[in-house]
Amino acid sequence: MESFNIIEKLHSISEAQSIIMKSNIRYSIKMEEVKVEESIGKVAAEDVRSPMDIPPVDRSVLDGYAARWIDLSVASEESPVRLGIAGSIPIDSGDAPELKPGEAYEVATGSPIPRGADVVVPVEYTRRLGDVIEVYRPFPGGYGVSVRGEDLREGEVILNKGDIISEWHIGVLASVGISRVTVWRPIRAALYATGLELIEPGEPWRPGKVYSSTTRAVYSYFISRNVKPEYLGILPDDVDVIESALRDALSKYDIVVTTGGTSVGRKDATIRALHGLADDIVHGLALTPGRPGAFAIVDGKLVIALSGMPVAAISELIAIWDPVYRRLLGREKPWEPVVEARMRSRFTSHPGMVNVVRSQTCYSGGFIYTTPLRVTGSGILSTLIRANSLFIVPEELTGIEEGDLVEVRLTGYPGRC
């Protein structure tokens, strides 16, 4: 029988990621079409190009009179130019008439301008006398006119594959007539807690018990990162029961995620069950926090056995799962905004380990600073709410010096330093 008492070798992040890539996860990732107004926060599955020019025709950006600049070139207060009003063009006019020399058409903001017109004179620089207007100054060619395609050109990319769709994208998509957009459907993840010490939040606490919080943190982490989790409860510390629960979930979900039971004690039934089932497994990660995690393939499907501690579990997802999943979605950037910040104190990392570091980022005088939070273990909860950012220290570094620059992801709201 294999020994589970020691994680003998720590595996690199890329070894763990190769397990994800060897699984059939890529076949679980499907596109779906949603209404453009329902697409906020979803991830674009394709580039979207504008099917039309904006504006679609030359149009007025003022209320006034469309005219020829050459007719107005001699206009002045003392000697205004008179133009005959040939008509009025409403903003919903489908047809722009021809403007003859010496004439003007009344236009509103958004009206198409007549053929031959090249300026729109603002109403406040005119005086109307029946069917004639007087204009009191000249205007340069193009004044008051928005030219077809000036804002957006047909074929221009307005949404990139991998973009998280914002209200700003939606305004533009709808403006060019797009009512449905193709996004990545969230993959479906079964989520189990394991650990004989666990009780569910809401139950009264009693000595020896620990709330099953990691599943909640993982659940909400997934929801906001294009994974649809379903929480299936706490499994008992029994290898057979865990094996059968994993098999059952694997038949129904795209991936299966467990929390806890991945250390090396006799009671770590999860990892024993997983070793029994797995076709391929990486257990023990060169990652701080997150050393005890495991990534495995069972019947072609991915099983992620996360640490029992919330901070370590999230670290495993951030460092290992997330970059691979984003790549499969065509999204290179992290989910959070990234800025480059100056370290306010040294961070010493475990040599040969990737470190996921929570930090406090603040701004002052156009500079951004970040302070790594000191932790004494992976269960340090308070850093989760005191931190507003995180950064990743690659394995080849032994630390980052005070004053060095580091790219931080904003997980919360920076304040003034």
Among 184, 192, 221, 325, binds a copy of itself (CB under 8 A): 221
Helices and strands (H, E) in the chain, number of each type:
10, 29
DSSP codes, 315-369: HHIIIIIHHHHHHHTT--S-SS-EEEEEESS-EE--TTSEEEEEEEEEEETTEEE
Among 36, 255, 298, 302, binds a copy of itself (CB under 8 A): 36
- Give the H or E element holding residue 119: strand 119-122
Binding mask 349-378 for a copy of itself (x = CB under 8 A): --------------xxxxxxx------xx-
Radius of gyration of the chain (CA): 31
**388 backbone dihedrals φ, ψ, rounded to 5°:** -125, 10
- The encoded tokens of residue 12 equal 């690199």
Binding mask 103-142 for a copy of itself (x = CB under 8 A): -----xxx-x------------------------------
- Residue 87 within binding range of a copy of itself, rule CB under 8 A: no
d(CA 105, CA 328): 55
Among 47, 231, 239, 395, binds a copy of itself (CB under 8 A): 231
- Report which DSSP code applies to 164: B
Site for a copy of itself in 16-35 (CB under 8 A): none
**Nearest approach, Cβ of 220 to a copy of itself (angstroms)?**
4
Among 133, 172, 232, 294, binds a copy of itself (CB under 8 A): 172
Among 24, 223, 252, 398, binds a copy of itself (CB under 8 A): 223
DSSP codes, 222-283: HHTTTEEEEEEEEEPS-HHHHHHHHHHHHHHSSEEEEES--SSSTT-HHHHHHHHH-SEEEE
Among 16, 43, 68, 169, binds a copy of itself (CB under 8 A): 169
Residue span binding a copy of itself (CB under 8 A) among the ranges 75-83, 114-122, 182-190, 306-314: 306-314
Size of the site for a copy of itself (CB under 8 A): 106
- Residue 46 within binding range of a copy of itself, rule CB under 8 A: no
**Nearest approach, Cβ of 24 to a copy of itself (angstroms)?**
27
Which residue type does 238 have?
Answer: D
**Closest listed residue to residue 269, CA positions, set 302, 299, 298, 234:** 234
- Residue 346 within binding range of a copy of itself, rule CB under 8 A: no
- Give the H or E element holding residue 145: strand 145-146
- Residue 207 within binding range of a copy of itself, rule CB under 8 A: yes
- Residue 328 within binding range of a copy of itself, rule CB under 8 A: no
Residue closer to a copy of itself, measured from CB, 23 or 111? 111
- Residue 330 within binding range of a copy of itself, rule CB under 8 A: no
Site for a copy of itself in 272-301 (CB under 8 A): none
Residue closer to a copy of itself, measured from CB, 178 or 249? 178
